[in-house]
Amino acid sequence: AEDGIRDIGVTGVQTCALPILRDITSAELTLLYDRLRVTAGLSPTSIRHVHAMLRRMFNWGLNRGLVRDNPANGAEAPSVVQHAPQVPETETIRKHLEILEQSGDVLSVAVMLDLTYGLRRSEIAGLRWCHLDMERGRMSIREGVTRVPGVGLRVTQTKTGHQGFADFVLPDEVLGRLRSHREHQEKLCADAGVDFPTNGYVLWSDPLTGAGLRPDSLTQALRRHCDNHPELPRVPFKQFRAFVYSSLRELG
């Protein structure tokens, strides 16, 4: 709605789109969700994302007097069944980690951070060298990154905002791995004849700019790793996070 108003002005929106929006009912939105489920094959989670987007859109128009009510409030979106997280076996984690450590690529660093701290993908991808104090052995989590279609990477807060801010101690093993990773990046920059971006991302996609990775690219890299090792149970990033929390609960 905001983009449309910027493009054609409030008058244009009122004469073109608003009469249609004002006539939409809650029942019609419910039927839309049913069609998305049956015809388009969308999952309940995806449909609830559509529902949330429509509700925000109508609220935006309602607060500005452009529509009379918000039909999304009365629409029925499918429920999402919450399944208990699957926790991989310790031996499975150990074998995956051994293989990844031999590769020495950015995925091994991402998995190491995930298994040590239970970070989200966006937080791992959003980690910059300025968030690390290598002398004191400390790491701060203050932001994440998301990919916006048509825009690219966008820096955000953590998923839970300020409640997601955290400061961690870097154990010697993790600190040593990060130092080796940084030395590798510094060598790539020296070979390319550019200065090392001290504010660049720990997991970068381009040594010339220090630009970060898309969180989805970590998922894709882990999927390729699992495809290359079908002898091991597949482990997505969410299960690494569940493994950390399960281990912490066992330790009290």
Tell me the pLDDT tens digit for each residue of 52-80.
999 999 999 899 888 889 999 999 999 88
pLDDT band at 207 (very low <50, low <70, confident <90, very high): confident
Highest mean pLDDT pick, 74-83, 169-178, 195-204: 169-178
Residues 6+ apart with CB under 8 A from 67: 18, 21, 22, 58, 61
Tell me the pLDDT tens digit for each residue of 215-231.
889 999 999 999 999 99
Judge whether 123 and 145 are in contact, CB under 8 Å.
Answer: no
pLDDT at 68: 87
Higher pLDDT, 214 or 228: 228
Cα Rg of the chain, angstroms? 23
pLDDT at 159: 64
Q: Output the pTM of the full model.
A: 0.68
pLDDT band at 168 (very low <50, low <70, confident <90, very high): very high
Cα 126 from Cα 146, distance rounded (Å): 9
pLDDT at 234: 93
